[in-house]
Amino acid sequence: MTDQQWKTLVAVVHGEAIHPLPTAFIIDSPWLPNWAGHSILDYFTSESIFLKANLQAIHTFPQVIFLPGFWSEYGMCTEPSAFGSVSVWGENEFPFAKKVLHSPSEVERLERPDPRKHGLLPFMIKRLKHLQPEIDKAGHKIRFAVARGPLNIASFLMGTPEFLLALKTDPELMHRLLDIVTDFLVDWIAVQRQAFPSIDGIFLLDDIVGFMSRRDFESFGLPYLQRAFNADVSVKFFHNDAPSKASAPLLGATGINLLNFGMQHKLAEMKAWTNGSIALMGNIPPRDVLADGTPADVARSVREMLNTLDDRSRLIVSCGGGMPPNAPTENIQALISTVAEETG
């Protein structure tokens, strides 16, 4: 992310008027490798391919803020690998982390990993260290510490159905699990910030929040997200593209100031539920419009979304979630140009 893009992002979070409205996308392994002409496994295993793909994106779409920017990750295997999860790879498939805990009682044997030494995390740091001179040369900086959220990680360690059930059957053990995972996350965020002093943001992704009632979120989500986001940074960015109605009124209490949410809810609804206090990033349908629609479909969807809003402050136009697989260049360009025409 360039200095100007970072200033724009911070300005949006502060509620300043921006014309035209900024456009931004979360880009990572489900979209970027194939769009750039590489297999997913090549993208993960080659620093040069990782760099070229990211540079190709920022050169093709210079108007766009890509978040978090040069995201060093290994898909959903990233954080679970530090807990000993077996990572399953395919040449052009999304990697998968096998569960580590086969019953709630096994939480008792779980140890907090060291993000400096365990799993794939040292490889993530080294990749960025090796490529940092080229990233700087391109006029960009590493701005975010990035991680999956505490509930997301816990669900991979146990399995999602098993974890959600255990919230009801074994709540004390699940609090123990979330304590361990959150302590690890706090360490992992600190390691990233220490490695890259240019970091001034935290980006956490946790779709499991969308599968919880308000009461469960208050108990098992809110306190752990508060701890994970408890750092002195300018941007606290949260992604949940599962349903957000139950958690939305409480998200401000987590400390976040930027939210990427799904297509299940309208922007006006989310503004109301969050009292207009959180900058919103969304929420064009990612698959049905941005990936599978035509440029005309994308333009129409953007206009319809913008026309429903009386207040366009604290808004970044994007899709409802991360950039979807197979989203074509012409559709992304249609979104960018339509936003410029409608809000310039």
| Per-residue pLDDT reduced to its tens digit, 166-208 | 999 999 999 999 999 999 999 999 999 999 999 999 999 999 9
Query: Tokens standing for 5?
Result: 């893009």
Whole-number average pLDDT of the chain: 97
Cα–Cα distance measured from residue 110 to residue 181, given in angstroms and rounded to the nearest whole number: 10
pLDDT-derived band at 315, boundaries 50, 70, 90: very high
Distance of CA 44 to the CA centre of its chain: 18
Q: What are the CA-CA distances from residue 146 to residues 6, 193, 238, 252, 342 (Å)?
A: 16, 10, 10, 19, 32
| Mean local confidence (pLDDT), 136-158 | 98
- Domains assigned to the chain: 3-343 (3.20.20.210)
CA pair distance 63, 46, nearest whole angstrom: 27
Beta strands per DSSP E along 63-183 = 65-67, 87-90, 93-97, 144-148
Residue 66: phi and psi, rounded to 5, are -95, 125
pTM of whole model > 0.95?
yes
In order of 25, 41, 86, the CA distances from 93 in angstroms are 21, 8, 16
| pLDDT on residue 268 | 92
**Within 13 Å, how many C-alpha atoms sit on residue 10's CB side?**
13
To the nearest 10 degrees (0 to 180), the angle between helices 121-137 and 47-60 is: 50
What is the C-alpha separation between 208 and 160, in angstroms, rounded? 8
Q: Is the peptide bond before 20 cis (omega within 30 degrees of 0)?
A: yes
168, two tokens: 């009801």
Q: What pLDDT, in 10s, does the model give residues 120-129?
A: 999 999 999 9
Between CA 54 and CA 36 the distance in angstroms is 9
The pLDDT score that the predictor gives to residue 335 is 98
